[in-house]
């Protein structure tokens, strides 16, 4: 194998590098080609070069939401390390590769708050836009004012309405657009107040989220507004009282963890992959021995079991790459 002519001008393209260490799951085979882009220009050049070489492309941020196949990825993997940051009053412009936790910290240091709900969520700004990452009923999309994307072969400026943000969704989950830069607007807040609130949130998360390697919640929680569930039948299938059901669904979503708990799926294991006992929507790789195939089998098993016993068809929140 050799590096295609179209990629050679990028420099520093590596062949066959393992992707395990580029994901929080510690799972995944090799990238046919791997390139680290340190700026928006480098991102665009890499995307254009891959298109010219007719190679599939995969942009990776922190790899905290992606299951990479054991066979790896058969094209160009671009590590987004475009970490530019510019703060002008309450307007903040940052590169797609900046970690959201670093953004939160650096804005807090400048007396800016409003994204404390993102505290403890791993990952980069670009992926947070794409999947409208968030917690506590809020999403990163709410902060966005303008998003610069590489879309359809050109750089485009998108407004929040263009991105159609919804629960763990933006239009970029359907269109192959890559986030180059994001402009967000924050509010003036004392640094200590932001730090205190963020630390409280991280502590609450640490009580719920297992420390083992994972890619966060595997499935989207079920939106009660759109799911049209028969509550009585569901309570019967779950052997749960109406009170228990209402206590779990008070934010308008039915947590997948409640389903896996009631159906006795927590702790279930296939090979090295295990559905966490602590959080019933997170698959962990406790000994770092799980294969992507084992995780995919466990996902399929959970989906089938839940569909057969409740009629609910779960949808993945995570992304698959190389499958």
What is the CA 133 to chain-centroid distance, rounded?
6
Based on the residue annotation, tell me whether 307 is a catalytic residue of this protein.
no
CA distance 58 to 116: 29
Q: Which of 62, 116, 294, 317 is catalytic?
A: 317
Residue 58 or 238: the one with the smaller Cβ distance to ligand FAD is 58
Based on the shown chain and the rule CB under 6 A, indicate whether residue 126 belongs to the binding site for ligand FAD.
yes
Residue 133 or 254: the one with the smaller Cβ distance to ligand FAD is 133
Residue 29 or 123: the one with the smaller Cβ distance to ligand FAD is 123
Based on the shown chain and the rule CB under 6 A, indicate whether residue 58 belongs to the binding site for ligand FAD.
yes
Q: Which of 62, 168, 170, 294 is catalytic?
A: 168
What the block records as the tokens of 271 is 């090979």
Query: Taking the complex as a whole, how short is the minimal distance between the CB of residue 110 and ligand FAD, in angstroms?
Result: 23
CA distance 303 to 315: 8
Tell me which of 209, 224, 229, 296 binds ligand FAD, using CB under 6 A.
209
Based on the residue annotation, tell me whether 168 is a catalytic residue of this protein.
yes
Based on the shown chain and the rule CB under 6 A, indicate whether residue 62 belongs to the binding site for ligand FAD.
yes
Based on the shown chain and the rule CB under 6 A, indicate whether residue 113 belongs to the binding site for ligand FAD.
no
Q: Which stretch binds ligand FAD (CB under 6 A): 55-63, 234-242, 251-259, 297-305?
A: 55-63
Query: Taking the complex as a whole, how short is the minimal distance between the CB of residue 25 and ligand FAD, in angstroms?
Result: 8
Based on the shown chain and the rule CB under 6 A, indicate whether residue 19 belongs to the binding site for ligand FAD.
no
Query: Taking the complex as a whole, how short is the minimal distance between the CB of residue 308 and ligand FAD, in angstroms?
Result: 27
Based on the residue annotation, tell me whether 106 is a catalytic residue of this protein.
no
Based on the shown chain and the rule CB under 6 A, indicate whether residue 96 belongs to the binding site for ligand FAD.
yes
Q: From the CB of residue 182, how many other CB atoms can be counted at a distance below 10 Å? A: 25
CA distance 202 to 132: 19
Q: Which of 64, 217, 262, 294 is catalytic?
A: 217
Closest CA to 193 of 103, 129, 114: 114
Return the residues of window 129-188 that contact ligand FAD according to CB under 6 A: 130-131, 133-135, 172, 178-179
Based on the shown chain and the rule CB under 6 A, indicate whether residue 60 belongs to the binding site for ligand FAD.
yes
Catalytic residue IDs:
168, 217, 317
């Amino acid at each position: 194998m050799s590096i295609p002519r179209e990629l050679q001008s990028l420099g520093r393209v590596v062949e066959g590098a393992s992707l395990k260490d580029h994901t929080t799951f510690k799972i995944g085979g090799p990238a046919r080609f791997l390139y680290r882009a340190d700026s928006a220009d480098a991102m665009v050049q890499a995307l254009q070069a891959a298109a010219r070489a007719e190679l599939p492309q995969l942009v990776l941020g922190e790899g905290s939401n992606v299951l990479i196949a054991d066979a790896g990825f058969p094209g160009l993997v671009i590590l987004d390390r475009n970490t530019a940051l510019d703060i002008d009053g309450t307007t903040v412009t940052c590169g797609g590769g900046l970690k959201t936790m670093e953004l939160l910290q650096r804005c807090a240091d400048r007396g800016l708050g409003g994204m404390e709900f993102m505290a403890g969520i791993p990952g980069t700004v670009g992926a947070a836009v794409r999947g409208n990452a968030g917690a506590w009923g809020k999403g990163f999309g709410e902060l966005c004012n303008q998003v610069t994307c590489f879309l359809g072969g050109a750089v485009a400026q998108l407004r929040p309405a263009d991105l159609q943000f919804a629960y763990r969704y933006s239009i970029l989950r359907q269109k192959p657009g890559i986030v180059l830069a994001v402009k967000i607007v924050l509010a003036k807040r004392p640094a200590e107040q932001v730090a205190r609130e963020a630390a409280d949130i991280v502590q609450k998360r640490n009580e719920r989220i297992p420390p083992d390697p994972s890619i966060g919640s595997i499935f989207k929680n079920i939106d009660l507004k759109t799911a049209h569930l028969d509550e009585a039948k569901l309570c019967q299938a779950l052997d749960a009282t109406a009170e228990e059901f209402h206590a779990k669904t008070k934010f308008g979503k039915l947590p997948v963890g409640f389903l896996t708990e009631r159906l006795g799926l927590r702790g279930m294991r296939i090979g090295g992959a295990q559905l966490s006992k602590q959080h019933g929507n997170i698959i962990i790789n406790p000994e770092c021995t799980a294969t992507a195939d084992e995780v995919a089998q466990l996902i399929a098993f959970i989906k089938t079991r839940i569909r057969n016993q409740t009629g609910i068809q779960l949808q993945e929140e995570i992304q698959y790459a190389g499958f």
